Structure 1
Amino acid sequence: MRVPSRSPGQQPGPPVSPAAPARRRAPAVSLRRTPATEPDLDAYRAAVADLLVEIGALADASCIAARQVLVDQRLREPALAAVLDATPQGLVGARETLLLEMARYQPNERSSAGDLAALVRIYLLSRIDVMWWRDAPTYLTDKQVNGSPDLVDLEWLRRRDLLRFRYQEQPATLLGRGVRAVRRRVLPGATPRTAGLLFRRTRREVVALLNDIGREFAARTPAATPPLWVTSLVRSAEHQHRLRRLGYAAMVPSGHCLGWAVDVELEWFERFGVRDTLAELLLARQRAGEVNVVDEGQAWHLCLAPAARQRLRRAYEAEMGV
């Protein structure tokens, strides 16, 4: 059993800013030894669901000690321990982090964790991401995200009509924020209520995944339905901690900081009557082993599975003609 690691992880290489997407050889497969059999993710998700019921029954402030005992006992069960022990922190580190998150939890309007059970769900299900990509380098700073050659600029692709999804960037100036606020008052509901992307960059395989989902979503919904909407992509660990200070349920470590996670809007599509269609489409991809899905309320968190990486890399290169 591993003890908590204080290391921030391997850093990405020297920043280089490509002018346009280019054909790149996929990074070499890690030589790190892995278990002979991967953990049973269906059993893990079922065990998380059972734990959430018990957490909900102990939601009162007077039940702090009982919650700690419950978490300590349940996380040692084989279905949960198998995944947590395969993360960089190991079982002990994951347990301590979860207990600390629970002790610090304060509900607020910014957080996707509306209650304590939601916090536990988001944390535990997102550990699948970091188990899958435990050997991936962490993007520690904003500069590393903006300069990484492993990421492509979505704006370059959008201007060439190569994206089957939409996004909006965070306003960079006070004037921009004012214009955004006025637009929301004049046209409420015209776009999802989200801050927008700080980084409009992501991995090539994630672009292929989102394009694939976007096409399937468009095929299953009425013609007037807006396209798939992305609310978050790659984040630096630096930005992840900024979000935590603002009250968001931004977990660490995170698949966003490894470059393999993305958040897509769900709640906004309720007004078009297609939220459940999108939800089922995403869950079907999870059942197929292509992604990990975490229901975070307004937006759902997706993380690409390593098993789908090669297919999606080929799909990106074929679609982009590189």
Structure 2
Amino acid sequence: MRVPSRSPGQRPGFSVTPAAPTRRRAFATPTRPAAPDLDAYRAAVADLLVEVGALAGESCTSARQMLIDDRLREPAIASVLEATPQGPVGARETLLLEMARYQPNARSSAADLTALVRIYLLSRIDVMWWRDAPTFLTDAQVDASPELVDLEWLRRRDLLRFRYTEQPRTLLGRGTRAVRRRLLPAATPRTAGLRFRRARREVVALLNDIARQFAASTPPGTPSLWVTSLVRSAEHQHRLRRLGYAAMVPSGHCLGWAVDVEMEWFDRFGVRDTLAELLLARQRTGEVNVVDEGQAWHVCLAPAARRRLRRAYEAEMGV
């Protein structure tokens, strides 16, 4: 049996006038806005910090506000702030409020107004990267989240290459910590310790990788990489703010993608600069964002590195 062709073609004995070509509606291909130039952003922030430092006096409040108003509109800075949930207007208002409320104290990582501006603006890169990530709102959410793993479980199985200490939860624990610090004041970093000993799997892989590289780059006997803060709830972040810490809101810590790494303590071993260069080298590759917060440096994982580090974690842990 002959099967008719699906092609219209010309049938014998008939004259067929070719149909007019069908007009197709043109659809514009949506284009994503270009990713902000983070090198240009960091350079613009550095220039702004010089000017903020020159206007540090109490009589310069109006001049500082005018400076912030002007410089946050620059394309290099505005491109990042526009990509955050707050937008440039919200970021400006938050920064000015932080500056107005600023009171130097021993707990805060912001030693002065310049440091406060640096910490706030550079940490906006974290918020831009993870703007769609859900926030851990409460302590209970951190404790129950399946996205986080228990560091103590990993440590007991010798699967961590970095060190940490937990916050004492009892009066006896705090007393023991105080006695140990008096007897051995430089044995460990001076830190309150982790409120939550939990972390994302990718962050564990990142810290293990940095710790191995740090160990390979320093003399024998150098202490391991020390982590002073990991994931936090928004509830805990506000608790820290009430205590005087420069805990920014929103924060990469409350999304689970940021950590703080001890720096100052490693000065006594002559390896602080080594660790700083390792972290900055990873920033140059786009793997992390780094913020100098004095005693500790804030490090946030970039979304582009998430898949590689998740695979690294699974391979290392035998998952």
Q: So what's the TM-score if we normalise by structure 1?
A: 0.89
2:176 pairs with one of 160, 176, 179: 179
- Matched residue SS, 1:301: strand
1:99 pairs with one of 84, 96, 100: 96
Instruction: Write the distance in 1 (CA, Å) between the matches of 2:59 and 2:32.
Output: 40
Please say if 1:248 is aligned against 2:236.
no
Letter of the 1:142 counterpart: D
Please say if 1:76 is aligned against 2:44.
no
Please say if 1:199 is aligned against 2:201.
no
Q: Which segments of 5 or more consecutive residues in structure 1 lack a partner in the other structure?
A: 1-32
Please say if 1:265 is aligned against 2:262.
yes
1:39 pairs with one of 36, 40, 57: 36
Letter of the 2:33 counterpart: A
Letter of the 1:144 counterpart: Q
- Matched residue SS, 1:303: strand
Instruction: Write the distance in 2 (CA, Å) between the matches of 1:187 and 1:57.
Output: 40
Larger Rg: 2
What residue number does 2:83 align with?
A: 86
Letter of the 1:291 counterpart: V
Letter of the 2:306 counterpart: R
Please say if 1:140 is aligned against 2:137.
yes
2:50 pairs with one of 43, 50, 53: 53
Post-superposition shift, 1:36?
2.9
Instruction: Write the distance in 1 (CA, Å) between the matches of 2:58 and 2:286.
Output: 38
What residue number does 2:298 align with?
A: 301
Letter of the 1:243 counterpart: L
- CA deviations 1:129-180 (Å, max 9, x no partner) are 0000000000000000000000000000000000000000000100000000
What residue number does 2:163 align with?
A: 166
Please say if 1:66 is aligned against 2:63.
yes
- CA deviations 1:34-79 (Å, max 9, x no partner) are 9431100000000000000000010000010110010000000000
What residue number does 1:28 align with?
A: none
What residue number does 1:321 align with?
A: 318
Post-superposition shift, 1:223?
1.1
Equivalent residue runs for 1:19-38 within 5 Å: 35-38=32-35
What residue number does 2:206 align with?
A: 209
- CA deviations 1:99-148 (Å, max 9, x no partner) are 00000000000000000000000000000000000000000000000000
What residue number does 1:311 align with?
A: 308
How many residues are treated as equivalent by the alignment? Answer: 290
- Matched residue SS, 2:219: coil
What residue number does 1:237 align with?
A: 234
2:125 pairs with one of 117, 128, 146: 128
What residue number does 1:279 align with?
A: 276
What residue number does 1:27 align with?
A: none
Post-superposition shift, 1:215?
0.1
Q: Which segments of 5 or more consecutive residues in structure 2 lack a partner in the other structure?
A: 1-29
What residue number does 1:9 align with?
A: none
Letter of the 1:259 counterpart: G
Q: Which runs of 4+ in 1 moved over 2 A?
A: 33-36
Instruction: Write the distance in 1 (CA, Å) between the matches of 2:92 and 2:82.
Output: 10
Alpha-carbon RMSD: 0.9
- Matched residue SS, 1:263: strand
- Matched residue SS, 1:264: strand
Post-superposition shift, 1:188?
1.0
Letter of the 1:185 counterpart: R
Letter of the 1:168 counterpart: T
